[in-house]
Amino acid sequence: MSGKIVVAIDGPAGVGKSSVGRSFAGEINYMFISSGKMYRALAFKALEKGISPSDEQALLKLAVSSDWSFKPVQGPEPLLYLDGRPLDRELSDEEIGKATSSVARLLSVREFLVKKQREIGAAGGIVMEGRDIGTNVFPDAPLKFYLDASPQARASRRVAQLKQAGLEADYEGILKMIIARDEQDSKRAHNPLKRAEDAVYIDSTSMSKEQVCQAMVNAFRAVMEGR
């Protein structure tokens, strides 16, 4: 069989799934989708409307009644629009991250967003990153990656990013937050973060972004040659 496939990328918070995934998608000329942004967008809208991020019924209603769309912009990652409003940087706030963790625990909300994610990937030509992409959203994806790095390496990278942006960074605090987020993501009842058995495992602890991206491109070429 030929044609464009779906590539799944999963892994813990702060491992670089988005930044490496975006470069990788650019290299292979695929579209890049961060599924976490969909969970974040819903949490963002809920907070704006004063809805609790653990009120499952209200959140499901909010998700179903919203207009979800992606519009192409420059680069492999389209911009997410919720009810015609573009959402991007505002989704990275720490407050939104915390609320998103609660939203992502709710089964009916997950089922709704997973359905949307499957629609987005239906035609192939997509690199999608998240926590359950290879295990739940696209269990039959011909290529799956599980990106990993030690919590210490992820915390150091985050500190460097913040410093580069001229912001204050507290390594110990960030490390604690990363460990807590790992625990939350991997211990929740529905579709927890888990390594798919058939995923290519990449431990990026001592790899550069370019090296990880190259390893992914090589794996992609090998899969495509075999099809």
Q: Which residues bind ligand DC (CB under 6 A)?
A: 13, 35-36, 39-40, 100-101, 104, 130-133, 185
- Name which of 92 and 218 has its Cβ closer to ligand DC: 92
- Name which of 23 and 35 has its Cβ closer to ligand DC: 35
Q: Measured from the CB of residue 38, what is the shortest distance to ligand DC in angstroms? A: 8
For residue 153, the one-letter residue type is A
CA dist., res. 162 & res. 143, Å (int): 32
Q: Measured from the CB of residue 14, what is the shortest distance to ligand DC in angstroms? A: 8
CA dist., res. 67 & res. 58, Å (int): 16
Q: Measured from the CB of residue 222, what is the shortest distance to ligand DC in angstroms? A: 25
- Name which of 23 and 101 has its Cβ closer to ligand DC: 101
Place of tokens 């709704």: 112
- Residue 133 CA: distances (Å) to CA of 130, 155, 165: 6, 24, 30
For the record, the structure tokens of 184 come out as 């939350």
Q: Measured from the CB of residue 74, what is the shortest distance to ligand DC in angstroms? A: 21
Q: Are 59 and 51 in contact (CB under 8 A)?
A: yes
- Name which of 104 and 143 has its Cβ closer to ligand DC: 104
Which residues does residue 202 pair with via DSSP β-bridges, in sequence order? 147
Q: Measured from the CB of residue 143, what is the shortest distance to ligand DC in angstroms? A: 17
- Name which of 107 and 222 has its Cβ closer to ligand DC: 107
Q: Are 62 and 110 in contact (CB under 8 A)?
A: no
